[in-house]
Amino acid sequence: MAKLIKWILILGLLAGIGYFGLKIFKVDVNSLINQGKDKIESAKDEIEKFKDYKESLEKVKEKLPQQ
C-alpha cells in the first residue's frame, strides 16, 4: 500500500512539473492539439488518395490482356 501511495505521489509531482514547465515556456497546449488534429486529417486525406490510386490501378490491371 505504501508503494502505491509513493508512486501516486511521484506521478503527481511529475505531472505538476510538466504542467508548470509548459506554463513557464508559454507553450500553448491547445495549439499543439490543433496541430496534431491537422496532421491526422492530412494523413486521412493521404490514405484516401492512396485508396483511390489502388482502385484505379486494379481497374487498369483488369483491362490489360491476360498473358
Q: What is the mean pLDDT of residues 17-37?
A: 82
Distance CA 7, CA 1 (A): 10
pLDDT at 40 over 90: yes
More confident residue, 26 or 34: 34
Distance CA 23, CA 19 (A): 6
Confirm if 30 and 37 have CB atoms less than 8 A apart. no
The pLDDT value given to residue 44: 95
pTM for this predicted structure: 0.48
Confidence of residue 9 (pLDDT cuts 50, 70, 90): very high
For 11-56, give the DSSP string. Answer: HHHHHHHHHHHHHHTT--HHHHHHHHHHHHHHHHHHHHHHHHHHHH
User: Hey, what amino acid is at 49?
Assistant: K
pLDDT at 43 over 90: yes
The pLDDT value given to residue 28: 77
